[in-house]
Chains A and B, each alone.
Chain A
Amino acid sequence: NAGVTQTPKFQVLKTGQSMTLQCAQDMNHEYMSWYRQDPGMGLRLIHYSVGAGITDQGEVPNGYNVSRSTTEDFPLRLLSAAPSQTSVYFCASSYSRQPYYEQYFGPGTRLTVT
């Protein structure tokens, strides 16, 4: 199994540009989520999904869109990039919505918005 994969690893955007961060998992996990991590702020939840066709907002959803058309994929879209969205983005998944299942994280995407 490849686990959780994210692309790209690095990205530089200009203010106002849009882009999609890709996340895929091959473990047939129901639950998938996106976090951003900034120095001193820890991991902050952006959006999450409990299954194909179902998504919900996390702590910091503004400026981001998600969709879940398949179990495997959970892309994160930046609609109009802003310097405040400069961060490291992590995608995570787990076997089930049950709270005792561990989360598997991807390697992250480092995004810089100039």
Chain B
Amino acid sequence: SQKIEQNSEALNIQEGKTATLTCNYTNYSPAYLQWYRQDPGRGPVFLLLIRENEKEKRKERLKVTFDTTLKQSLFHITASQPADSATYLCAPRSTGFQKLVFGTGTRLLVSP
């Protein structure tokens, strides 16, 4: 069955450092991969989408990579700030219509 794995343990980093979060998937051949941010008590908010033919995608301080050979996506936040503290979810998606399934998410804590 399809499986999406994200680090269940929280990632603690200091302000100004780069945070790197991992999303691994199995039994999938996604053509796209989405990343979302979720703050406590709120619904997830879309951040970035990367296509299988895009090795890397950037948006301001965010960078996402997509390695279809390793079946992995990495999500980077450079010059991290305490306001970046949240849970980050990945969602691989195949071509054609399929129901959207999320990873369990990784909680990021950025300390001043």
- Interface bits B16-50 vs A (CB < 8 Å: 1, else 0): 00000000000000011010100001111110010
Pair A40/B8 contact, Cβ less than 8 Å: yes
Number of A-B contacts (CB under 8 A): 63
Given contacts A43-B89, A99-B32, contact A105 B45 (CB under 8 A): yes
Which chain B residue shows the least CB distance to A59? Answer: B101
B95 within 8 A of A: yes
Q: Report how many residues on chain B are interfacial, defined by Cβ distance under 8 Å.
A: 28
Distance of A22 Cα from B45 Cα, bound (Å): 20
Pair A42/B100 contact, Cβ less than 8 Å: no
Pair B94/A99 contact, Cβ less than 8 Å: yes
Pair A108/B105 contact, Cβ less than 8 Å: no
Pair B103/A99 contact, Cβ less than 8 Å: no
Q: Which residues of A contact B103 (CB under 8 A)?
A: 42
Chain A interface residues (CB < 8 Å from chain B): 4, 33, 35, 40-43, 45, 48, 50, 56, 58-59, 90, 92, 97-100, 102-108
Chain B interface residues (CB < 8 Å from chain A): 8, 31-32, 34, 36, 41-46, 49, 51, 89, 91, 93-105
